Amino acid sequence: MDPGREDEVPLAATSPESRRTRSNGRGKATVGDAPPPAETVVSTKAAPLPTGGWKKGIAILDFILRLGAIGAAMGASILMGTNEQILPFFTQFLQFHAQWDDFPVFKLFVVLNALAGGFLILSLPLSIVCIVRPLAVGPRFLLLITDLVNMATVIAAASAAAAIVYVAHNGSQDANWIAICQQFTDFCQGTSEAVVVSFVAAVFLVCLIVVSTLALKRT
């Protein structure tokens, strides 16, 4: 849109010589015989290296945060997916075996967290591209959109599971729902841990989005 800025990314990769030539072409200083003004124009625009370095730091931070988010999302999925408890004694319930896939919400939790973790792993190459080319806009924008979707997914899964864990812990007198955690203590602790880890993944994703926005932002 702004013709004065559309060649910013190529500028970072070209040599000072070609840069001066391009500036001359834009400023039309080669038509006459006044090179000094054109050279001073170049000197006021020729400092993309500090910006690139700052953006590269942001890209590396993005990569590290992404690894953390992958670990947390996958960890939450595995924690929940391996969660079961068999009671050694007979209770007032008919069954004495609690497993994560008894509850559809926990199934959804495992699937959504695994999906988010998978998409985050798939986004790692893009993140590396952003480290190599810190000023590229396209990959960064794609990362931001996928992170946004992943964040919504992880928060939705974690909140839904948290609501069920709350009912399992406290029950609901008005609805006659029993607090099953009074029997299945280990099972409930496992689900609570998985929910907490999933919220950690969500925090990582929020940080990722803020970092991506900072990288995209006009200064």
Q: Which residues contact a second copy (rule: CB under 8 A)? A: 1-6, 8, 26-29, 32, 34, 36-38, 40-41, 44-45, 47-48, 50-51, 54, 93, 95, 98, 102-105, 137, 141, 144-145, 148, 151-152, 155-164, 166-168, 170, 172, 174-178, 180, 202, 206, 209-210, 213, 216-219
How many Å apart are CA 34 and CA 169, to the nearest integer? 80
Kindly state the smallest distance separating residue 75's Cβ from a second copy, in Å.
20
Kindly state the smallest distance separating residue 124's Cβ from a second copy, in Å.
21
End-to-end CA distance of the chain: 17
The helix/strand/coil state of 99 is strand
At 92, list the tokens. Answer: 């007032």
Query: Given the complex with a second copy, which of 1 and 90 has the nearer CB atom?
Result: 1
Kindly state the smallest distance separating residue 43's Cβ from a second copy, in Å.
9
Query: Given the complex with a second copy, which of 54 and 119 has the nearer CB atom?
Result: 54
Q: To which residue do tokens 């068999």 refer? A: 86
Position 87, amino acid: L
Kindly state the smallest distance separating residue 27's Cβ from a second copy, in Å.
5
Query: Given the complex with a second copy, which of 70 and 157 has the nearer CB atom?
Result: 157
Kindly state the smallest distance separating residue 78's Cβ from a second copy, in Å.
21
How many Å apart are CA 156 and CA 148, to the nearest integer? 12
CA angle, 46 then 50 then 53, to 5°: 130
Query: Given the complex with a second copy, which of 70 and 143 has the nearer CB atom?
Result: 143
Query: Given the complex with a second copy, which of 15 and 40 has the nearer CB atom?
Result: 40
- Distances in Å between the Cα of 215 and the Cα atoms of 30, 56, 99, 122 are 36, 9, 44, 20
Rg (CA), the chain: 27
- DSSP state for residue 104 in the 8-state scheme: H
Query: Given the complex with a second copy, which of 50 and 88 has the nearer CB atom?
Result: 50
Kindly state the smallest distance separating residue 161's Cβ from a second copy, in Å.
7
Residue 18: φ, ψ to 5°:
-65, -30
